[in-house]
Amino acid sequence: MTIRVLVVDDSGFIRRRLTEIFNADADLEVVGSAADGAEAVQKAAALNPDVITMDVDMPVMDGITAVRHIMKEQPTPILMFSASTKAGAKATLDALEAGAMDFMPKQLQEISGDQDLAKRILRRRVRDLAEHAGRLRRLRRTSKPVTASSAAGTGAAKTSIRDFRLLVIAASTGGPVALQKILTAIPETASVPILLVQHMPGNFTSSFAERLDQLCRIRVKEARNGDELRPGVALLAPGGFQLELSEHRARKTVVVRESESGEHFRPSADVTFTSIARNMPGKVLAVVLTGMGSDGKLGAERLKAKGAVVWAQSEQSCVVYGMPKAIVDANLADCIYDLDEMAGELRNL
């Protein structure tokens, strides 16, 4: 089935360029374009596209406002195009909070130095988002929660949350909003350190950490090599790098390193989870939130083998039920929670 795309950008050159890129794929068809946010809202309702690509800065109505209108009236997967600047990062985070599902750099060379590869990545991202169009609309129209008692994964006995020595959370698509929701529930008196792995480019993680730090009662910062684990402090893996846990003479610190061959995600939940299993076995709580793919599954297996507890986000509350699904399907989830339930549990930290 052909995926119908609406392209929104105030630049005629960009609209034509994206149209050529998408129409070169037999699975994609650009069914319309818009030069501003107000036109985008109208055409989203009239054309009912499967995916919308959206610029941020436009006349008449900006992209963030347009996202809010579309998600309220015609919920549709929206891919934001963002400038690689601090202001661009902030605007993108605002758009994600407004309901956009994913984002990519506006300049193709920032996706990859290989233009053909960059185009393939862009097309694949649109195809991935289209797979979740129907589920996104159902998610927006229902608020019925799934309770942990009715959705327990393995049926394992629940461990008191106060017993854990480390909380590690992994997420991808839809993760920024999900992380904000559950981290703002954690009290300033939290007794455990926290590690965060969010699939995100390097020029965004600093702004994301700053935003979380402003909103949360705990401290949130982008991790730096050598940072020590401290109770009530959340360290966010920097985009473009890998975050690992290291222990030397009972002192636990993080290692921020370059990615190695074969490490597809930067940062990768599998890399972080595996290092925790190796250096801090036992009472660790690993949480896998919304996201495409299965990053975290291999690491979760290693954590479980060392006595960790794994939680997964419920399908009904996920923007994209990929990473949590991999955990559930592998029978690794000790509990499955929707975001509100998870936030309630984490208040006891």
Q: CA nearest 174: which of 340, 300, 319, 283?
A: 319
pLDDT bucket at 136, cuts 50 / 70 / 90: low
pTM, two decimals, is 0.90
CB 341 within 8 Å of CB 152:
no
CA distance 324 to 292: 9
Looking at CATH, the fold of the domain delimited by 3-141 is given as Rossmann fold (3.40.50)
User: Does residue 104 carry a pLDDT above 70?
Assistant: yes
> What number is the average pLDDT over the span 62-69?
97
**pLDDT at 88 (0 to 100):** 86
User: Does residue 149 carry a pLDDT above 60?
Assistant: no
User: Does residue 293 carry a pLDDT above 80?
Assistant: yes
pLDDT bucket at 222, cuts 50 / 70 / 90: very high
- Name the active-site residue from 172, 207, 294, 314: 172
User: Does residue 296 carry a pLDDT above 80?
Assistant: yes
pLDDT bucket at 155, cuts 50 / 70 / 90: very low
- CA torsion 224-225-226-229 (nearest 10°) is 50
**pLDDT at 101 (0 to 100):** 94
CA distance 309 to 36: 47
For 29-51, write each residue's pLDDT tens digit.
999 999 999 999 999 999 999 99
pLDDT bucket at 134, cuts 50 / 70 / 90: low
**pLDDT at 141 (0 to 100):** 55
> What number is the average pLDDT over the span 205-218?
96
**pLDDT at 114 (0 to 100):** 85
> What number is the average pLDDT over the span 160-184?
92
Residue type, 310: V
Q: What is the mean pLDDT of the chain?
A: 91
SS3 assignment, position 312 = strand
> What number is the average pLDDT over the span 56-67?
96
Q: Over 152-220, what HEC string results? A: CCCCCCCCCHHHCCEEEEEECCCHHHHHHHHHCCCCCCCCCCEEEEECCCHHHHHHHHHHHHHHCCCEE
Let me know if 160 is a catalytic residue. Answer: no
**pLDDT at 153 (0 to 100):** 41
For 304-329, write each residue's pLDDT tens digit.
999 999 999 999 999 999 999 999 99
**pLDDT at 221 (0 to 100):** 98
pLDDT-wise least confident of 43-47, 73-77, 167-171: 73-77
pLDDT bucket at 145, cuts 50 / 70 / 90: very low
Angle at 104 between CA 121 and CA 90, to 5 degrees: 165
> What number is the average pLDDT over the span 248-255?
89
- Options 3.40.50.180, 3.40.50.720, 3.90.640.10, 3.90.850.10; CATH for 148-346 is 3.40.50.180
As a whole-number percent, the residues of the chain with pLDDT over 70 amount to 92
Quote the distance between the C-alpha of residue 6 and its chain's center: 23
**pLDDT at 160 (0 to 100):** 66
User: Does residue 148 carry a pLDDT above 60?
Assistant: no
Buried b / exposed e over 291-315, threshold 16 CB at 10 Å, is bbbbbbbbbbbbbbeeebbbbbbbb
**pLDDT at 82 (0 to 100):** 85
pLDDT-wise least confident of 45-54, 85-94, 109-118: 109-118
**Does the fold of domain 148-346 match that of domain 3-141?**
yes
CA distance 297 to 265: 13
- Name the active-site residue from 295, 314, 317, 338: 295
User: Does residue 186 carry a pLDDT above 90?
Assistant: yes
- Name the active-site residue from 9, 94, 199, 207: 199
pLDDT bucket at 159, cuts 50 / 70 / 90: low
CA distance 343 to 199: 21
Domain boundaries, the chain: 3-141, 148-346
CA distance 57 to 138: 29
